[in-house]
Amino acid sequence: SKNSLTVGSANLNWLDNFSVSAIPNTYSSIGPTDDGRIKPDLVSDGTLLETATSAHPEAYTLVSGTSMAAPAVSGGLLQLQEYSLGLGLPALSAASLKGLALHTSTGIGAPGPEVETGWGAFNALNAVHFLQQQAFASKLEEGLLQEGEELRYTIEARENQVLKISLSWTDPPGEAKRSKANEPTPVLVNDLDIRLYKDGQEYKPWIIRLTDPSANAEKGDNRVDPYEQIEVNSAQGTNELVIKHKGSLTGQQQAFSLLISGARFSDCELEKPQALQLNGMDSEQLSLSWADSGADRYRIGFRQLGEDWHYVDSEENTYRFENLSLGGFYEFQVYGTCGLAF
């Protein structure tokens, strides 16, 4: 299945630095497919997870399997869709949601995809951060490539960050054929391509060599997957991204989802707000102001001593509080933020 999100099961151990070690479970199938597609797409923890059981209405048990790993990813993707809508973004297409999961997965072992674990371990928190940083350091764009068209984008890569670019699409169905073992002919119908150019250097996406699938992933021309990813460690400055296709396009066009991280999409600056000042301290109409730090918006925290923090948002460098207790002792915080959310 070329468009589905295939989830493998592994025993995952998340480390303090947010990296992960993984031991793929022996019952979980590995790739690649006969034509060299990367499967599984990613892995999730499927080892001894607590779940409800039919033994009793209130009974629980520990179960291992891909039947545990895949639902965990499905539930995480549903929450990401809900979170995206809460940010005011349109509903993510299947290609966008799959692309988001693969783009933000945590790599395991060698750089690039692997035949046992795909693009890595599903990481919903990374995906949340990607969505939060849209219009600042990340970008998710759904577009349409027409027959014979080349799309070009100028990308400003950030200093000391990995520039990562993914292209995801739902490929049209191919011709039904009788199954034939070890058939290497690609089943991809619309073969889209991404290339990155900087200072005369061409950067290609990750691929797995069908002739030696157990070897580390390489950079090359991907002719089999409906998902391509380019990673560049030293892309600081101006880069040009090109999206095009091989041959002809079934339907004369192909919808796609483009995901970019590690780039600059805003002049917003993450600097600590300065010169905080309280006004109206002799009344219940207390206001807080500060010097504009160049952030997109601000988050203000406040609490009465000994109580929980409360947070409000402001696009201005001032905020007026309502219904504070006169004579109470309060603490205040101000954060400058860039992107869509806090």
Instruction: Tell me the pLDDT tens digit for each residue of 76-131.
Output: 999 999 999 998 888 999 999 999 999 999 999 889 999 999 999 999 999 999 99
Q: Is 229 helix (H, G, I), strand (E, B) or coil?
A: strand
Instruction: Tell me the pLDDT tens digit for each residue of 192-204.
Output: 999 999 999 999 9
- d(CA 4, CA 7) in angstroms, rounded, equals 9
253 C-beta neighbours (distance < 10 Å), count: 14
Structure-model confidence comparison of residues 18 and 53, the more confident one: 53
Residue 109 pLDDT? 83
Q: Percentage of the chain with pLDDT > 70?
A: 98
Residue 107 pLDDT? 92
The helix/strand count (H/E) of the chain reads as: 3, 21
Q: Is the pLDDT of residue 341 over 70?
A: no
Residue 271 pLDDT? 82
Residue 1 pLDDT? 82
Q: Is the pLDDT of residue 342 over 60?
A: no
Of 231, 217, 29, 36, nearest to 114 by C-alpha is 217
Sheet with 227-232: strands ordered across: 138-146, 253-261, 163-168, 227-232
- The answer to whether the CB of 293 falls within 8 A of the CB of 273 is yes
Instruction: Tell me the pLDDT tens digit for each residue of 21-52.
Output: 889 999 999 999 999 999 999 999 999 999 99
- The answer to whether the CB of 335 falls within 8 A of the CB of 298 is yes
Residue 283 pLDDT? 61
Average model confidence (pLDDT) for the chain?
92
Q: What own/partner pairs with CB < 8 Å and gap ≥ 24 does 120-123 have? A: 120/20, 120/42, 120/43, 121/10, 121/12, 121/20, 121/22, 121/42, 121/43, 121/44, 121/45, 122/7, 122/42, 122/43, 122/44, 122/72, 122/73, 122/76
DSSP per residue over 126-139, as a string? HHHHHHHTBTTTEE
Once rounded to an integer, what is the mean pLDDT over residues 272-290? Answer: 82
Instruction: Tell me the pLDDT tens digit for each residue of 161-171.
Output: 999 999 999 99
Once rounded to an integer, what is the mean pLDDT over residues 275-304? Answer: 84
